[in-house]
Chain A
């Protein structure tokens, strides 16, 4: 079952300051799309617009051709899931209960029914098993590691039954090994027919495991296409104001490396001049 999320001409302003000036973006099932942009470029805003959490000033977001603004939220939640950045809940819900929250859009009486049926349990257990974290089911969500919590949040999205997953920096806060395992997992999910849109700050995470990259800059999609073609030295410089060298490995893969320590200092400050709280 394929699905497609399509943004057309999205505009959004916050307190009179334009954040997005006409964004077009498409995410299909079967692909991992990375959204790359500097701090404050509006990546999170774009994600929230795509999820229907914000209303655009102009343009629209279509899910399989239907504007999401016209869809009941519960129906939308069965087809489009949000995987937030890893966070800590103040309450020690067992992992299975967190995953079962993904069944809320399927609950009876307009979501008011607290009844959790066999179908819900099955979906939750299947999602836990799918991510190989069934052994965590009874553990409190507050007592597992950050990497495990990210997997739990993905399991919840799978339990929703959604084929399209929108992820806010899924590798943020994870250790090196977990970052790579997560990228691998996203790749597998795409192969199994899920569509993933994620934001990231790591060009290497785009090159490793993404089918497509969209560059967000000045409120527009500056470029959209195959990572190895889009990510170039001039683009990296214009995007982040740093000079990094692309290297091609023996097997043809591309990596970026900063210049050797002690070489030329960065052109300006260590931080991008447009840096502002997201």
Chain B
């Protein structure tokens, strides 16, 4: 692992790589554009080198109105899921944990399905997905606090109970939904898609998602201590309870927002932290930002594939699972020693 020997290299290299990947993602699609065109559009938008109005209009429409929201959404969703996954793995001292552990995804899925069942408009469906995601985690944490004083094992059990509750509610909604319009809409939504993202929405979610990822990254060193055990972390001066609940709150917030934006996108929160660990080592103050960057890259790639694989778009949740499994097996082979 030569990269790990140069602590700054991955952290400086990632943003550059991410920028290049975003440019590439903007250029590919049904109408492929040379990267050069995008750079010319950027130059014109910044007022450096004007373009003919007609060309500007076409490029602006394609790149800024259609592709940019998707690209930005992919970056945000990928960064949010991967860094919450990494933070959850530290808090729960388990490298096999994903952000859905406490029921946020099950809750959000139910919320969105309920919204579709009630024929709410799209913004309300998203709001309901977010609220139910948060509610599911609140119920899981509530169960843990009520029965076990918030111990780790009780949190996991509370999450399982809460996720099971919302999965059964989701089944009920699916059962009563109109099988010709609503049920397909629910099923399609559950597979995840970045297609509905528009620029204002992406812009308004950038702050909470970015803030959440930042909070998680700042807690990196405290998470290192926390992953060694509660008593140890406390004896090292770490306010264990506050750190744990801050992580749960931030990870829940960003995960619920990603679900409301893009539906269920699995595997990112589980596998990206492992890839990041191979690149920058297990220390959380480097692992969390690295996971965010790699998650963004991973989802950009997955979304580009979902847009270009066939003439009709493939739901991104399917793509992340299909790519995720072989990647996970590869990582498993390399990381097995660390888990033993």
Contact = CB atoms under 8 A, between A and B. Distances in A.
Contacts, number: 85
Contact of B227 (A53, A75, A84, A90): A90
Interface in B225-267: 225, 227-229, 231-232, 234-239
Given A77-B236, A104-B236, A48 B231 contact: yes
Interface in A260-275: none
Nearest to B95: A90
Interface stretch (A29-37, A107-115, A225-233, A246-254): A107-115
B338 A73 contact: no
B227 A91 contact: yes
Contact of B228 (A51, A89, A107): A89
Most buried by A among B95, B237, B238: B237
A9 interface: no
29 contacts: A53-B231, A73-B234, A77-B235, A77-B237, A80-B235, A81-B235, A84-B232, A90-B93, A90-B94, A90-B95, A90-B227, A91-B90, A91-B227, A91-B277, A91-B282, A92-B338, A94-B283, A101-B224, A101-B225, A102-B236, A104-B237, A105-B236, A111-B221, A111-B237, A112-B219, A140-B338, A142-B338, A142-B340, A143-B337
A52 to B, nearest CB: 8
A114 B237 contact: no
Contacts of A89: 93, 227-228
Nearest to A113: B221
B142 interface: no
A242 B252 CA distance: 55
A87 B227 CA distance: 12
A82 interface: yes
Q: Give the size category of B's interface with A.
A: 20 to 34
Given A77-B237, A92-B338, A142-B338, A101 B228 contact: yes
Contact of B221 (A90, A107, A143): A107
A74 B317 CA distance: 44
Contacts of B338: 91-92, 140, 142
Interface residues of A, number: 34
A107 B224 CA distance: 14
Most buried by B among A48, A74, A111: A111
Contacts of B231: 48, 51, 53, 82, 84
Contacts of B95: 90-91
Contacts of A97: 224, 283
B259 to A, nearest CB: 27
A160 interface: yes
